[in-house]
Structure 1
């Protein structure tokens, strides 16, 4: 196993790591290993593909519903703010 040194860690991040480690009943080093392991085993996602996936879900959820055009909503908001 390799050793690593993490330098110049912001004090706030160090405190958050300490609190997270305590919440999980681990040392700070064990918590950091868990974070790195989880981050590196998670599959990389393409942001554009993820956006398209979520947009497809959103369109499916609102299918068949009437929609107010954005320019109408914007005009109503501006008129309301002008009063």
Structure 2
């Protein structure tokens, strides 16, 4: 189910600008308002895990050889779950 939102007392010049913007994008005023609201609450930029790891590597000046040696050095065996007996 979708929520319904009513906005009252929208100034005429804002409503006119919304109609014009909607027409430019080829959609209804209501669809334009939904698009504006969705964009307004979305994060400006998502940090992806790969980008975060790459930035950490750069900050610590890690080379590909450093990463390879670290991956070979750690224990390859899966961790055992804790027992509570």
- TM-score, normalised via structure 2 length: 0.49
Q: Highest CA radius of gyration, 1 or 2?
A: 2
- Quick check: which one's helix share is greater? 1
RMSD: 1.4
Distance 1:17 1:42 in 2: 23
Which of structure 1's runs of 4+ aligned residues deviate more than 2 A? none
Distance 1:39 1:3 in 2: 17
Once the two structures are superposed, the pairs formed by residues 1-83 of structure 1 within 5 Å of their partners are 1-43=2-44
Residue segments in structure 1 that go unaligned for 5+ positions in a row = 45-83
